Amino acid sequence: MLDIKFVRENPEIVKENIKKKFQDAKLPLVDEVLELDVSYRAALTEANELRASRNTLSKQVGMLMGQAKKDPSKLEEAEAAKAQVKANAERLAELEKQTAEMSERIRTIMMTIPNIIDESVPIGPDDGSNVEVERFGDAVVPEFPVPYHTEIMEGFDGVDMDAAGRVSGNGFYYLMGDIARLHSAVLAYARDFMISKGFTYCIPPFMIHGNVVEGVMSQTDMDSMMYKIEGEDLYLIGTSEHSMIGKFIDQIIPEGKLPQTLTSYSPCFRKEKGAHGIEERGVYRIHQFEKQEMIVVCKPEDSKEWYEKMWRYSVELFRSMEIPVRQLECCSGDLADLKVKSCDIEAWSPRQQKYFEVCSCSNLGDAQARRLKMRVKGEDGRTYLPHTLNNTVAAPPRMLIAFLENHLQADGSVTIPEVLRPYMGGTEILIPKK
């Protein structure tokens, strides 16, 4: 969400940014919001002038009515003043209604106009224009065929999609035995990995109010992702970033307490609307999963540095588990409206012989802070908006796919890298039951 002052002073920059995001349908909104802004400020000025004159006129009416008791000729003047007070009150009520309506429309438009993207973001209409930046680790294709991930899990009696379908429907799963333990081990390792980087561990609320949802994401993303609790002003979180950033809603953070660096565990719930191909079935694209997340709230001048640190943490984590990855820079058309810059970390899939997304790192500038009314109080006493960033540490369903494919052996066993063994009771290799 942009500052209306910025739009007022830089309309052409805002329009050019909309074009770069291939959202030309939003271009008329810039002129509309500027026209509304002029009318809104004029109406506010008039309303304030009427309020300022109200007391003066009321005193004048009282004085004239008192004089009219002694001098009847003053009665006409008093009645005229009373009529003016009434007219002013009616006009003020009209202006208050108008300003409320204009304010809401301005707010709606400002929530729709996309954030200004960083100048380094590649320009393109969709994810087909995302740019590979760097690869980490050797992408190996084994000499034996790699089964689909649910087939690997079934070899360990580790997944039951049929039972989940009977209990909850499509998009859910039961993880069992060694596979369930591996899932928990990855989360525990990811937690300790981030704590070792100086992040504070957090278990946040898994449901949040609507104003928090509105503060952390665009309306489009909200409609396509969030599950609402019927009859309650509560939504199930799609990622713990939502509740962790929401922690600072309406708060003034002392500058000395920046940066705020949090890493959280949570279940995540997503509608995942739309049809998806075979590669996104199984436990790849699901309605419920668990995740370790990281967020940073920092000074504006520090956010670029934190962005670099955060995506590199993901690379380090995956490489420590001996999984090859690459960094993919997201293009302008693939960025959500609140994002300034974003990249995906993709893991190598030996079965598909290509990379797939396992982490997403984003710098949102001051957009979330403005929506949530988060502020920082500087040493000089002035307040300003911080920048917010988020990144996936590990989301085990997709992480498990990458892990199992990259550690699968020809006999169906799965090796456990050294960093995970303490979380697996010292186990070095998983032996299939089938």
State residue 68's pLDDT score.
59
48 and 197 inside one domain: no
194 and 72 inside one domain: no
Q: What is the mean pLDDT of residues 94-110?
A: 95
The confidence band for 275, taking pLDDT boundaries of 50, 70 and 90, is very low
- Number of domains, the chain: 2
The confidence band for 223, taking pLDDT boundaries of 50, 70 and 90, is confident
Report the C-alpha dihedral over residues 189, 191, 195, 200, rounded to 10 degrees: -170
The 10s digit of each residue's pLDDT in 113-163 is 999 999 999 999 999 999 999 999 999 999 999 999 999 999 999 999 999
Lowest-confidence segment of 12-21, 33-42, 139-148, 278-287 by average pLDDT: 278-287
| Buried residues in 151-168 as b, exposed as e (16+ CB within 10 A) | ebbbbbebbbbeebeeee
Q: Which of 112, 139, 172 is the last residue of a domain?
A: 112
Q: Which of 44, 77, 112 is the last residue of a domain?
A: 112
186 and 47 inside one domain: no
The 10s digit of each residue's pLDDT in 318-358 is 999 999 999 999 999 999 999 999 999 999 999 999 999 99
Percent above pLDDT 70 for the chain: 92
50 and 138 inside one domain: no
The 10s digit of each residue's pLDDT in 41-55 is 999 999 988 888 876
Is the pLDDT at 367 greater than 50, yes or no? yes
Residue 120 domain-assigned?
Answer: no
The confidence band for 77, taking pLDDT boundaries of 50, 70 and 90, is low
Residue 150 domain-assigned?
Answer: yes
Q: Which of 112, 144, 160 is the last residue of a domain?
A: 112
- Round the average pLDDT of the chain to a whole number and report it: 92
258 and 282 inside one domain: yes
CATH number at residue 346: 3.30.930.10
Lowest-confidence segment of 73-82, 160-169, 373-382, 420-429 by average pLDDT: 73-82
Rounded to an integer, what distance in angstroms lies between the CA atom of residue 115 and that of residue 99?
25
Instruction: Determine the structural domain holding residue 18 and report its residue range.
Output: 4-112
259 and 403 inside one domain: yes
Residue 121 domain-assigned?
Answer: no
State residue 434's pLDDT score.
77
69 and 141 inside one domain: no
Residue 118 domain-assigned?
Answer: no
Residue 402 domain-assigned?
Answer: yes
Measured CA angle at 79 (ends 77, 85), to 5 deg:
105
86 and 150 inside one domain: no
State residue 53's pLDDT score.
80
Interstrand relation of 414-415 and 429-430 (parallel, antiparallel or unpaired): antiparallel
Query: In degrees rounded to 5, what are phi and psi of residue 426?
Result: 85, 0
252 and 377 inside one domain: yes
Residue 119 domain-assigned?
Answer: no
Lowest-confidence segment of 67-76, 130-139, 170-179, 289-298 by average pLDDT: 67-76
Is the pLDDT at 69 greater than 90, yes or no? no
Rounded to an integer, what distance in angstroms lies between the CA atom of residue 362 and that of residue 217?
12
178 and 46 inside one domain: no
CATH number at residue 33: 1.10.287.40
Is the pLDDT at 72 greater than 50, yes or no? yes
Residue 280 domain-assigned?
Answer: yes
139 and 83 inside one domain: no
101 and 174 inside one domain: no
Residue 117 domain-assigned?
Answer: no
